[in-house]
Structure 1
Amino acid sequence: MRSLYVAQPGCYLSLKQEHILVKQGKTVLQDVALPLVEQILIFSQSQVTTQAIRACLWRNIPIVYLSRMGRCYGRLLSIERGYRTLARQQRSLLEAECFCSAVSIVQAKLKNSRVMLQRQQRRQSLLAEMASAIRGLSYLIYRAEQATSIEQLMGFEGAGAACYFAALGQCFTNEAFRFEERSRRPPKDPVNAMLSFGYQILWNHILSLIELQGLDPYEGCLHVGSERHAALASDLVEEFRAPIVDSLVLYLVNRGVMRVDEDFDWADNGGCYLNDAGRKTFLRSFIQRMEERLGEGDEEQPRWDLLNRQVKLYRDFVRDPRVGYKPYLIR
């Protein structure tokens, strides 16, 4: 089973026998056998025929409409998909089962941060500057495994983030961009502005995928949920911050794609934000990276699917807590 991603604007999805055809004008971009489709995600202004919609509803295949940033506008679901059986199972998880998943998520975030610094250390020969941060992250990965409470675990995560971002600032080679620490409300410099914007795009898309799988986005393991905070989306975004957003920001800055004097505005509250031109440049690069196809042959899928796979792994954990949750790790 695979996800069908429609990212190019002006596409037309139709049904031909047992196949979904994705056309742009007269050109067939994709031809996928309907029994192999798990879900259809449309990131652009595209049309779906009534026949294709009915076939998807009959086969219990959701159709999701998203913005180019990954924010979900809405979805078409068959009636049986509307029941929240999985969400009830999720709320029945034992505290110990949730805590084990929280530990795995924090360790994955710290490990991915460490790999990011190790890569930069090799590329830029920042041996002395990086060695201390890498050792610190290794120690915190070990301590996270020994944690006995969420508060303690969050403390290790916070210490790891401070250690990581202090070292990450040394990886920016473009002198126009200075980054000394992570600031969020408001972001105080262009690098923080891009990090915040990128994390929000990721969070929006993960939230959509959580809803799509029938999970309760407000019932997390690491973060505390509320009516305004989808805790599970905040949990699952952690493992992707460094490999997707941080690596992209490094690329955009060091390659001179983003420009301090043209792509950012400063607000009265001291915050720095991407302006219209900056958002367009960042989004274009972000989407291009997420649409890069990974894998081989029939298994080739856009990088967006990494997020989808992790949400499905969490779904599997909810269905059978004995399997545990295995976060995404880069090497």
Structure 2
Amino acid sequence: MLTLYVSQQGCYLTLKAESLLIKKGKEVLAEAQIPLLEQVLIFGKSQVTTQAIRACLTRNVPIAYLSRMGYCYGRILPVERGYRHLSRYQQQLTRVDRLIVARRIVKAKLKNSRTILQRQARRRSSETINLAIQSLNHLMEKVIEAESWERLMGLEGAAASQYFSALGECLTNPKFVFTVRSRRPPGNPVNALLSFGYQVLWNHLLSLIELQGLDPYFGCLHQGSERHAALASDLIEEFRAPIVDSLVMYLINRNMIDADTDFTYHDGGCFLNDSGRVKYLKAFLQRMEEKLTTADGEEQPRWDTLNQQVKAFKQFVYNPIEGYKPYEIR
């Protein structure tokens, strides 16, 4: 299944038979067959005709409206995307079950972050990277002992601080300087890439969660609310480093994105512009279509890895005694 990205500004989507056309003026920029789509992501100011919306809903294809940096304002969902069936099972999870899973998710996040730094250390070792690896090892041991969500989130925050302090050492392009993670708004091009990447990945996970019938607003690690799909925020943690962080390093170190021409500055922050979003999304799609070898020796694209983890969480909801095993890179 495919995701249709509309990242250029001033476009509109219209229906032609069983296809969506992306137009800018009279020019057709792209065409996608609706039966092959999993979702449509619209970044910024573009329009969708009523006929196109109706066709997507008929085919069970959600449409998400996002800011140009990837923040999700809302989604148009077909009626059958409801998640009431599994919601009661999720709400019946005990505090102990949820805390155990929350620990495992944080530990997997730290382990994947450590693996990324270890790979970089073999290429360009530095004292900062080595110290961060040692800190992550120590914090992973503490995570398993955490007896509350407050303690767990405190350890996760400490680990993130250590990890991001070392991530800047892994960047070889002198135009991209990174010393600290800043989110709202992103403070520089590296933070802009990370924020955009996390938002894109989060939206993909949200769609997969809905497809499996899970309640996206009830998680184990993060607190849900009417505006926060906590389960998507839970499951993204194990994928941040291996998918987004590694891709950002690749784009910067290979000079595939330009610090001068692919970003815009406004409202006190730095954001990807049209050309930057196109470059990132193209590389993201290529990365997600790459084949990985599973523990069973089979090859599957990274897309399937996301879906398998959502399905694994679904099985945990049905049978909590089996637990949930997060994704870990080797």
Structure 1 length-normalised TM: 0.78
Aligned to 2:95: 95
1:186: which partner in 2? 185
Aligned equivalent of 1:309: 308
Q: Does 1:235 align with 2:231?
A: no
Corresponding residue number in structure 2 for 1:138: 137
Q: How far, CA to CA, are the matches of 1:160 and 1:260 in structure 2?
A: 28
1:266 positional shift: 1.1
Q: What amino acid is the match of 2:307?
A: N
Q: Which runs of 5+ in 1 are unaligned?
A: 14-24, 26-38, 46-52
Contact 1:43–1:68 under 8 Å retained in 2 = no
The residue correspondences of 1:223-302 to structure 2 (distance < 5 A) are: 223-269=222-268, 271-295=269-293, 300-302=299-301
CA distance in 1: counterparts of 2:92 and 2:257, whole angstroms: 47
Write the distance in 1 (CA, Å) between the matches of 2:130 and 2:160.
16
Given that residues 128 and 165 in structure 2 are in contact (C-alpha distance below 8 angstroms), is that contact kept between their aligned partners in structure 1? Answer: no
Contact residue 83 and residue 210 of structure 2 kept, 8 A = no
Deviation at 1:8, TM superposition (A): 8.4
Shift of 1:212: 1.2
Q: How far apart in 2 are the matches of 1:188 and 1:82?
A: 38
Q: 1:262 to 1:83 in 2, by over 3 A?
A: closer
Identify the range of structure 1 (286-295 vs 153-162) with the bigger mean alpha-carbon deviation.
Answer: 286-295
Mapped to 2, the partners of 1:250 and 1:287 lie a distance apart of 16
CA distance in 1, matches of 2:236, 2:288: 15
Does the 8 A contact of 1:219 with 1:231 survive in 2? yes
Partner Cα separation in structure 2 for residue 320 and residue 293 of structure 1: 30
Residue 305 (structure 1) shift = 1.4
Is it true that 1:42 corresponds to 2:38 in the alignment?
A: yes
Distance 1:132 1:295 in 2: 31
Percent identity, please: 55
Query: 2:4, 2:37 within 8 Å by CA — same for their partners in 1?
Result: no
Alignment of 1:1-331 (within 5 A): 5-6=1-2, 41-42=37-38, 63-65=60-62, 74-75=77-78, 77=80, 84-124=84-124, 126-269=125-268, 271-295=269-293, 300-331=299-330
Aligned equivalents of 2:90, 2:61: Cα separation in 1: 23
Residues 229 and 68 from structure 1, CA distance in 2 versus in 1: closer, same or farther, beyond 3 angstroms? closer
Secondary structure (helix, strand or coil) at the match of 1:261 reads: coil
CA distance in 2, matches of 1:169, 1:65: 37
User: Is the contact made by 1:174 and 1:256 (CA closer than 8 Å) also made in structure 2?
Assistant: yes
Residues 246-299 of structure 1 deviation map (CA, whole Å, 9 limit, x = unaligned): 000000000001101100011142x10001111111111111111223359x96
Deviation at 1:214, TM superposition (A): 1.1
Secondary structure at the counterpart of residue 285 of structure 2: helix
Query: Letter of the aligned partner of 2:313 in structure 1?
Result: Y
Change beyond 3 A, Cα 1:195–1:115: same
Runs of 4+ residues over 3 Å off in structure 1: 6-13, 39-45, 62-77, 293-296, 298-301
Q: 1:261 to 1:241 in 2, by over 3 A?
A: same
**CA 1:83–1:238: 2 relative to 1, 3 Å:** closer
Tell me if the contact between 1:68 and 1:287 (Cα under 8 Å) persists in the aligned partners: no
Taking structure 1 as reference, are residues 159 and 316 closer, same or farther at Cα in structure 2, changes over 3 Å only? same
Query: Does the 8 Å contact 1:317/1:323 carry over to 2?
Result: yes
SS at match of 1:222: coil
SS across alignment from 2:283: helix
Cα RMSD of the aligned pairs, angstroms, is: 3.1
Distance apart, 1:219 and its partner CA: 0.7
CA distance in 1, matches of 2:320, 2:85: 15
Question: How far 1:7 moved relative to its partner?
Answer: 5.7
Aligned AA for 2:255?
G
8 Å CA contact 1:198, 1:245 repeated in 2: yes
How much has 1:217 moved relative to structure 2? Answer: 0.7
Q: Distance in 1 between matches of 2:126 and 2:141?
A: 22
